[in-house]
Amino acid sequence: MQTTLSPETRADLAPSLPQKQAIKLTINGTVHHLELAPWTTLLDALREYLHLTGTKKGCDHGQCGACTVLVDGKRINSCLTLAVMKEDSDITTIEGLAAENGLHPLQTAFVEHDAYQCGYCTPGQICSAVGLMNEGQAKTIDDIRELMSGNLCRCGAYPHIVDAIREVMHIEPKS
């Protein structure tokens, strides 16, 4: 025989979780004070609470890279990161890459090389490429391909993406 609990009994048995907590996030050089549930992802904090919609929600499982942002200069999947974990970090989104005097060199190179089709993955691709450059690991075109493999493009703009990154990194094309 199966016992069914009433909604009131279930509510009494549920652990008491904090509904919201105050956090401070530094995003694109601006400090934001937010009240978030502790389980809110950085991606949802950016998109839903701060309306920074350049960062895209793709798979929501860390497999596509559409949500890539920079945290302290390193690329991360914001869908796999809780916002509360990044309180003392410097977060940069695609909106924060451009400087007062114009686009980031990678943004310009993506335009010049037609390194986007639908554009959905482009913010994550560019943030990931900036992180790749910060890491200093890529020395060849093959390195770029390997180190960017966590960012998917459904439109297949990969050759143009690699060309844009290669140009900004001053890596010679294969002959």
Domains parsed from the chain with CATH numbers: 18-96 (3.10.20.30), 105-169 (1.10.150.120)
pTM over 0.85: yes
Give residue for tokens 């909604």: 7
pLDDT reported for residue 100: 85
Reported for 158-162, long-range contacts at CB under 8 A and 24+ positions apart, including other chains, are 160/113, 160/114, 160/115, 160/116, 161/110, 161/113, 161/115, 161/125, 161/129
pLDDT tens figures, 46-93 = 999 999 999 999 999 999 999 999 999 999 999 999 999 999 999 999
- Mean pLDDT for the stretch of residues 141-151: 97
Count CB atoms within 10 A of the CB of residue 118. Answer: 10
pLDDT reported for residue 133: 97
pLDDT reported for residue 104: 96
More confident site: 3 or 136: 136
Please report, rounded to a whole number, the percentage of residues in the chain having pLDDT higher than 90: 84
pLDDT tens figures, 84-94 = 999 999 999 99
pLDDT surpasses 70 at 103: yes
pLDDT surpasses 70 at 10: no
Give the separation between CA 11 and CA 113, rounded to whole angstroms.
57
pLDDT reported for residue 126: 98
What does the block give as tokens for 62? 């860390």
pLDDT surpasses 80 at 138: yes
Q: Beta strands of the chain (E only): which ranges?
A: 21-27, 30-36, 68-71, 74-77, 90-92
